[in-house]
A = this chain, B = another copy of it.
Amino acid sequence: MAAEKQPIPSVWARPRAKREQPALSRDRIVSEAIRLLDAEGIEALSMRSLGTRLGAGATSLYRHVANKDELIELVVDEIYGEMGVPGADDPAGWRAGVAACAHSLRAMVLRHPWIASVLGQVGLAYLGPNLIRQSERMLALFQAAGFDPGEADQAMNTLIAYVIGMTTSEAAYLSMVARSGQSEQAWAESLRPAAEQAVRDHPRLRDGYAARQSEDPQQIREENFSYGVERILDGLDTRLGPTTPAAR
């Protein structure tokens, strides 16, 4: 025995193998964070819970990430990479290409509804490589449609703002439904009395609410979204000459 090291008397295999997991790295942290967020939502993301999932202590993460806000920036940019943007030479025409962007962006947000809670802190205005890359491709789409560079930027921002605004509210709604543990229909049913009470003295809202009662909420959301996209494309179309040279 003898034990020259008081702090550690004689536990058998003191050193205890360490490198079994592929070790921590920024990429592993970000992708595990996304998995956690998708599975359990924004309020389940803490440095401790994320560390545990990675088989590490909470503070170990700070070797790879400056702080939680930076982690969230990284996560958001990673997610932007999922959006699909057609090439500017796509033969389907600018309207189809831009509409595809819009629907792809919506699908991305609905796959990761927690970004609704996070976009307000991060803004869109950031410099992440994925966001930059996608913006460049999308801008190419608008320029190919015939918008001059300055207006292409405005047109793109208009569409993106719409999609973000619409889907953010959709995602926030779906997050609430998810937190309630009920199906969307059951949830809508459960707050029907409150809703009817709230619109009682507002005939236009009341009628609209009643009219939508019998329809499938998911389909309504999709139709409303598409309606807005089409109107915005109509509005942008009026700014292009009567016949655009390249986009036929």
Chain A interface (Cβ within 8 Å of chain B)? Answer: 115-125, 127, 129, 132-133, 135-136, 139-140, 143, 149-155, 157-158, 160-166, 168-169, 171-173, 176, 191, 194-195, 198-199, 202-205, 207-208, 211, 223-224, 227-228, 230-236, 238-239
Contacts and interface: CB of A to CB of B under 8 A. Distances in A.
Given A125-B173, A135-B205, A157 B224 contact: yes
B204 A127 contact: no
A15 B202 CA distance: 50
7 contacts: A122-B172, A124-B169, A132-B198, A132-B205, A136-B204, A158-B228, A230-B235
Contact of A204 (B143, B238, B239): B143
B227 A120 contact: no
A206 to B, nearest CB: 9
Contact of A165 (B140, B154, B168, B207): B168
Contacts of A208: 139, 149-150, 153
A120 B151 CA distance: 29
How many copies of the shown chain assemble into the complex? 2
For A151, A173, A176, A232, the residue with the greatest tally of chain B CB atoms inside 10 Å of its CB is: A232
A191 B173 CA distance: 35
Contacts of A202: 132-133, 135-136
Nearest to A230: B235
Contacts of A235: 230-236, 238
A235 B235 CA distance: 4
A202 B126 CA distance: 15
Given A136-B202, A234-B238, A227 B158 contact: yes
A105 B238 CA distance: 25
B150 A160 contact: no
